Structure 1
């Protein structure tokens, strides 16, 4: 097997006086989708934000594509090939969809072929290309948020709860887009509370509890074992 695209070893992160991440060990296999699962408040979002550098790890190491990025600034991590889709979307409401996309293309002008591919997986982007992003619906804003991370080919995408609060038709579009992204060879680490989506997209799963990774394995193994789900997360995917 190839080396993981991302490796966290003993990562600890504090936010103010709170000790959130407690010696997190996590491998993200290359070219696949890893679901980061667990109940609310266990440290999933903090893990993603520590990887991208919004929060600095107090201890431990983060290795991406064979390089130690533990102390790199956020822009350098992005330039190294990591895309990030935050839970709060992170779009610029006063700018147009096109302007949001231009800003997201950090290496230069937005590639026309890449733009057309994004139009194919997220058709509303073409329709609202010249509209202010703040005027989009919630689902359209989420599409734009993910499209911004996809504006350039990245090695790894960190995606935080992309389907939260969205209608089933929008979720279906999201799942299709992420499948195409994976087919291009990208690696994805994704926090997701919708277990139907997790089961449909995930190759691997890592479950967090109280700031630690408490289980790793295949997504299929977790999805097919209601007893394991109940033990790890206090719920059953069969109910989703």
Structure 2
């Protein structure tokens, strides 16, 4: 396994009076897709938001590319090369696709080569370039959400359930785009409930339960062991979609 680009050690996060993360230990290998799996409500989204700095860790440490980022504000983490795609997409619906992309490229104008890569991954965005994002379909909005973090070079992508509620054809487009990100050298930490996608994309996996990581290993190992899936998550990848 390659060296981790991201390492969480003993991370604890509180939201209001609730103790959500209860000592998370997680390593994300560089250049791989790591699946963060588990039942609803076990802390997966809170983990991503803590890494991004939307929630502050009460205890523990977060290291990115060898640097301690535990106390850094969210903008500094983004400048360091972390991109975040939230479950609610985070796009500006009253702005055009073009305006959304321009805002996402905080360091300067959109590079033509990077924009062409976005269009190659998500062809509908070229078609609707001048359209308001609020008029896009659900799948097209999700494409734009991922495209926005592709507007600048990122070393690590945190992506929260990108295929949720999407038609199979759109899911295939998403999966292909994520493969291309990985092929370009990016590392990805992906929360995903579609086990077919998880099995197809994941190199490694970490399973959460009750605010902790309870299992880590190769995605292929988890995908091949129905009994392990049942024990860790209460369902089998062969029956869940």
TM-score scaled to structure 1, two decimals? Answer: 0.99
What is the SS of the residue equivalent to 1:139? helix
Alignment of 1:92-103 (within 5 A): 92-103=92-103
Answering whether residue 230 of structure 2 is matched by residue 230 of structure 1, we say: yes
2:67 and 2:180 mapped to 1: Cα distance?
27
**1:203-240: per-residue Cα shift (whole Å, max 9, x none)?**
00000000000000000000000000000000000113
2:135 and 2:12 mapped to 1: Cα distance?
39
1:148 and 1:113 mapped to 2: Cα distance?
15
- 1:30 maps to what in 2? 30
What is the SS of the residue equivalent to 1:151? coil
What is the SS of the residue equivalent to 1:207? strand
- 2:188 maps to what in 1? 188
- 2:206 maps to what in 1? 206
Deviation at 1:2, TM superposition (A): 4.3
1:87 and 1:181 mapped to 2: Cα distance?
19
- 2:129 maps to what in 1? 129
Deviation at 1:107, TM superposition (A): 1.5
Q: Which runs of 5+ in 2 are unaligned?
A: none
**1:178-224: per-residue Cα shift (whole Å, max 9, x none)?**
00000000000000000000001000000000000000000000000
What is the SS of the residue equivalent to 1:238? coil
Alignment of 1:106-145 (within 5 A): 106-145=106-145
Instruction: Verify the 8 A CA contact 1:205 1:216 in the aligned structure 2.
Output: yes
TM-score scaled to structure 2, two decimals? Answer: 0.99
2:106 and 2:160 mapped to 1: Cα distance?
21
- 1:71 maps to what in 2? 71
- 1:157 maps to what in 2? 157
Superposition RMSD on alpha carbons, in Å?
0.7
Q: Which runs of 5+ in 1 are unaligned?
A: none
Answering whether residue 20 of structure 2 is matched by residue 20 of structure 1, we say: yes
- 2:6 maps to what in 1? 6
**1:5-47: per-residue Cα shift (whole Å, max 9, x none)?**
0000000000000000001000000000000000000000000
Between 1:206-215 and 1:144-153, the stretch displaced more is: 144-153
2:120 and 2:190 mapped to 1: Cα distance?
22
What is the SS of the residue equivalent to 1:131? coil
Answering whether residue 219 of structure 2 is matched by residue 219 of structure 1, we say: yes
Instruction: Verify the 8 A CA contact 1:79 1:106 in the aligned structure 2.
Output: no
Deviation at 1:3, TM superposition (A): 2.7
**1:115-143: per-residue Cα shift (whole Å, max 9, x none)?**
01110110000000000001101000000
2:2 and 2:221 mapped to 1: Cα distance?
22
1:29 and 1:106 mapped to 2: Cα distance?
27
- 1:178 maps to what in 2? 178
Between 1:174-183 and 1:2-11, the stretch displaced more is: 2-11
1:91 and 1:209 mapped to 2: Cα distance?
30
Deviation at 1:79, TM superposition (A): 0.2
